[in-house]
Amino acid sequence: ARHLSVLGIETSCDDTGIALLNQNGEVLGNVLNSQQKFHTRYGGIIPPRAQDLHRAKIAEVFENCIAQAQMTPEQLDAIGVTTRPGLPLSLLVGLRFAKHIARKYKKPLVPVHHMEAHALQARMEQNIPYPFLCLLISGGHCQLVFVRSPSKFSLLGETLDDAPGEAFDKIARRLRLFLLPKYEHWNGGRAVEDAAQHARNPSRFEFPLPLARDRNCNFSFAGIKNNSFRNIRAVERQEGTPPDGIIHQYHDFCAGLLAAVSRHLMNRTQRALEYTIPWFGNAPRSLVVSGGVANNDYIFNDLSHLATHYDCQAYRPSKKYCSDNGVMIAWNAIEKIKENSNCMRWDYDSLSICG
Residues found near Zn ion in the complex (CB under 5 A): 138, 324
* Least spacing, CB of residue 116 vs ligand KG4, in Å: 12
Cβ atoms of residues 267 and 281 within 8 Å: no
Please identify, using beta-carbon distances, which residue of 41 and 103 lies nearer to ligand KG4. 41
All residues at 6 or more sequence positions from 233 whose CB lies less than 8 Å from its CB, including other chains: none
The 118-147 contact track toward ligand KG4, x by CB under 6 A, reads --------------------xxx-------
Please identify, using beta-carbon distances, which residue of 77 and 302 lies nearer to ligand KG4. 302
Contact segment (CB under 6 A) with ligand KG4 among 18-26, 64-72, 123-131, 188-196 equals: 188-196
- Burial (CB count <10 Å: 0-12, 13-18, 19+), residue 208: middle
* Least spacing, CB of residue 16 vs ligand KG4, in Å: 13
Cα four-point dihedral sign 288, 291, 297, 301: negative
Q: Which of residues 35-64 bind ligand KG4 (CB under 6 A)?
A: none
Q: Round to whole Å and give the CA distance between 270 and 44.
A: 33
Please identify, using beta-carbon distances, which residue of 253 and 321 lies nearer to Zn ion. 321
Q: Round to whole Å and give the CA distance between 134 and 297.
A: 17
**Which of Zn ion, ligand KG4, none is residue 223 near (CB under 5 to 8 Å by kind)?**
none
Contact segment (CB under 6 A) with ligand KG4 among 214-222, 279-287, 292-300, 328-336 equals: 292-300
All residues at 6 or more sequence positions from 72 whose CB lies less than 8 Å from its CB, including other chains: 66
Strand partners, 20: 7, 29
Q: Which of residues 53-112 bind ligand KG4 (CB under 6 A)?
A: none
Q: Round to whole Å and give the CA distance between 86 and 324.
A: 11
- Show contacts of 36-42: CB within 8 Å, 24+ apart: 36/185, 36/187, 37/185, 39/14, 40/178, 40/184, 40/185
Q: Round to whole Å and give the CA distance between 94 and 19.
A: 13
* Least spacing, CB of residue 340 vs ligand KG4, in Å: 26
* Least spacing, CB of residue 163 vs ligand KG4, in Å: 7
Which member of 188, 210, 317, 326 binds ligand KG4 (CB under 6 A)?
A: 188
Q: Where are the alpha helices (DSSP H) in 240-318?
A: 250-280, 297-308
Told to check if 13 binds ligand KG4 by CB under 6 A, we report yes
Cα four-point dihedral sign 254, 256, 257, 258: positive
* Least spacing, CB of residue 319 vs ligand KG4, in Å: 8
Cβ atoms of residues 83 and 353 within 8 Å: yes
* Least spacing, CB of residue 114 vs Zn ion, in Å: 6
Please identify, using beta-carbon distances, which residue of 220 and 295 lies nearer to ligand KG4. 295
**3-class secondary-structure state, position 227:** helix
**3-class secondary-structure state, position 220:** coil
Please identify, using beta-carbon distances, which residue of 3 and 319 lies nearer to ligand KG4. 319
**Which of ligand KG4, Zn ion, none is residue 131 near (CB under 5 to 8 Å by kind)?**
none
Told to check if 251 binds ligand KG4 by CB under 6 A, we report no
Please identify, using beta-carbon distances, which residue of 113 and 285 lies nearer to ligand KG4. 113
**3-class secondary-structure state, position 197:** coil
**Which of Zn ion, ligand KG4, none is residue 190 near (CB under 5 to 8 Å by kind)?**
ligand KG4
Told to check if 302 binds ligand KG4 by CB under 6 A, we report no
Binding site for ligand KG4 (CB under 6 A): 13, 138-140, 165-166, 168-169, 187-190, 193, 291-293, 295-296, 323-324
